[in-house]
């Protein structure tokens, strides 16, 4: 069924969003991210104790693309 749309004023559309006016079958935004963190970085909770002494995070990524997003 066709959509009737009145006046629209768009102030901002961020890089991780979709803006559509009218009929659409499907919308599927995609994104990727790569996170490097040292040991104990993503621990959550109350009273956590982490003793890593000398911790290092080695990042040696020889590939430019790990997993491509293909539309």
For the segment 18-61, what is each residue's pLDDT rounded down to a tens digit?
888 777 788 877 777 778 787 778 888 888 888 878 777 777 77
Report the alpha-carbon distance of residue 58 to residue 64 in Å, rounded: 17
Q: List all residues 6 or more positions away from 18 whose beta carbon is below 8 Å from its beta carbon.
A: 27, 29
Whether the model clears a pTM of 0.75, i.e. scores above it, the answer is: no
Answer whether residue 11 is part of any domain.
no
The count of domains in the chain is 1
Answer whether residue 49 is part of any domain.
yes
Range of the structural domain that residue 35 is part of: 31-58
Report the alpha-carbon distance of residue 22 to residue 71 in Å, rounded: 21
CB atoms within 10 A of CB 38: 11
């Amino acid at each position: 069924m066709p959509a009737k749309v009145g006046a629209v004023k768009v102030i901002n559309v961020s890089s991780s969003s979709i803006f559509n006016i009218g009929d659409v079958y499907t919308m599927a935004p995609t994104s990727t991210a790569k996170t490097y963190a040292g040991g104990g970085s993503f621990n959550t909770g109350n009273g956590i104790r982490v003793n890593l002494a000398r911790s290092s995070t080695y990042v040696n990524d020889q590939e430019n693309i790990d997993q491509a997003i293909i539309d």
